[in-house]
Every structure is written in C-alpha cells, then in structure tokens.
Amino acid sequence: MLAVFHKTFARPPPELVSPEPGLRQRCAKSPDEILHDFHAAHPAVSFCASFAGGAALASLGPHAPRPSFLHQRLFCSYDDVYCVFVGSIHNLSSLVRQYGLSGKSTDEALLVIEVYRTLRDRGPYPADQALKDIAGSFAFVVYDNATGAVFAALSSDGGVPLFWGVAADGSVVIGDEVEIVKGGCSKSYAPFPAGCMFHSEGGLRSFEHPMNKMKAMPRVDSEGTMCGASFNVDYFDKVNAMPRVGSAANWASTWDA
C-alpha cells in the first residue's frame, strides 16, 4: 500500500526530514513520481484513488501474486472515508458485533473505517483504547475526504512493516514497501513506530503507552549520512493527562493534552 498527502492535509514530525542541507531537494521525488514508481513495481495489479488538493491512496488489487506478499491487502471506502489496510485482525468477529456491524459483509478495512467514524462522530471514547481493542498484526491509513483528515496506525507487534517519509515538496508518504518509500523520500524516511498512531491534527502518539510522550532518535545510514529520525516512546516523560475525547469535533486534539 502507499499513501501520499500534501502538507496541507498532514504535517509529519519535523525530525523526519533529513538534516543534511539540500539533500531532500536533490534526491527526493515528487508525489507523482513516487506513485509512478509504485505502479511500475506492480504493473496490472495496482490501482490508485486520487483526491483534490494532493491526496492519494494506492493499493494492490485482488489478483496481486502471492506468496510474494505475505499479508492480506485491502482497500475500502464508505461514506466518503477511504482506507488502505495490510495484515489481519484476529478478533474481527467480536469487533463487528461491538461496532454494530453484524449482518453486514465486513472486512478489516471496513471495520477500521467504522472505528474512525465512531471516534469522529460519536465520542467520547479515547483513540488509544479503540486501537488497543484491535488484536492482530496490521497497518492502515484512513483518509476522510469530507474533512481532509488523515489517520494511520501500526500494530504493536511489528508483524507488518510500515515506513514513512517526506517527498520533495514536503508531502508525507506512508507505505509498507521500504524500497518505494526510501526511493521516493531519499534520506527523509524512517520506520513507522509500532504501537503508534498518527493523525493530521494530533500528530504522532503511542496508543500502547498514551501517558508517555514520543521522542525522536537520530538515524545514520551505512554511508554515515544523517537520515530521518526514528521515533520511540519516552518512558520517563509523561503527558499532563490521559487523552480523552471532549467532543465529537475535537477528538484528535486531545492527543496533545
């Protein structure tokens, strides 16, 4: 999967950008070039949903070859909310009942959309608890075309790879194929931290340890060049309060409480 969002939709942490002066401009690619690389790597089995303003979600279709890809890949849309999903949810049946989806044909991507819509519209409910309720190995990116919101997360077990970076124009790039993300973002890329979630308004946050802040650790590649930082939970630096949803409109803003 691949997701690209112009900086008007989502601003990644500034530490993700390589500190080497001019390196991003010289080596990183534009969003169109990165999407082209994705389609060129998977001819005839990839597709892309593009949106106004510089947002795009790309995925592989149901005829993508296996076992070259070990994890299930899904794309789904509902009520102008779109989701690309990789992996599996072990307790899908119980979550389908919990979110009132019984009787409907529901896969993991549709369930994630319903989780997002619940957080967006029906609070109060903490986002970290909603994600901790999901058991499995997964990575997903949700794009809300109505509000322009971006919501991404990676399971805490690290069973599914996920990477993110910054394109030449400052767009955030999220994908599960390191060659595509690294090739498009040059040195301004890093692994997406396991057990964490990212929202276009709330930023990066650990859902496994919501009371603790995130810290950026410098990365140096095999050539000795500074790369985009890795992010880890700072177990000694806590937020002021446990994040809670104050209203249906501002659930993401509580991440900075």
pLDDT in tens, the chain (257 residues): 999 999 999 998 999 998 876 655 568 999 999 999 999 999 989 999 999 999 999 999 877 776 556 789 999 999 999 999 999 999 999 999 999 998 778 999 999 999 999 999 876 678 999 999 999 999 999 999 999 999 999 999 989 999 999 999 999 999 999 999 999 999 999 999 999 999 998 899 999 999 999 999 988 877 777 888 899 999 888 876 544 444 445 566 555 44
The residues pairing with 99 across neighbouring beta strands, listed in sequence order, are none
Contacts of 89 (CB under 8 A, 6+ apart): 95, 108, 111, 134, 135, 136, 138
All domains of the chain in start order, with CATH:
2-256 (3.60.20.10)
List the one residue out of 147, 172, 139 whose CA is nearest residue 56.
172
Whole-angstrom distance, CA of residue 172 vs CA of residue 189:
10
Instruction: Give me the residue label for tokens 């609070």.
Output: 123
Q: What pLDDT was estimated at residue 242?
A: 46
Expressed in angstroms, the distance from the first to the final Cα of the chain is 32
Evaluated on CA atoms 68, 179, 54, 139, the torsion sign reads positive
Element (H, E) at 27: helix 23-27
Q: What pLDDT was estimated at residue 241?
A: 52
Instruction: Give me the residue label for tokens 């322009």.
Output: 148
List the one residue out of 132, 148, 208 whose CA is nearest residue 11.
148
* CA angle (149, 197, 221) in 5-degree steps: 110
Contacts of 256 (CB under 8 A, 6+ apart): 202, 203
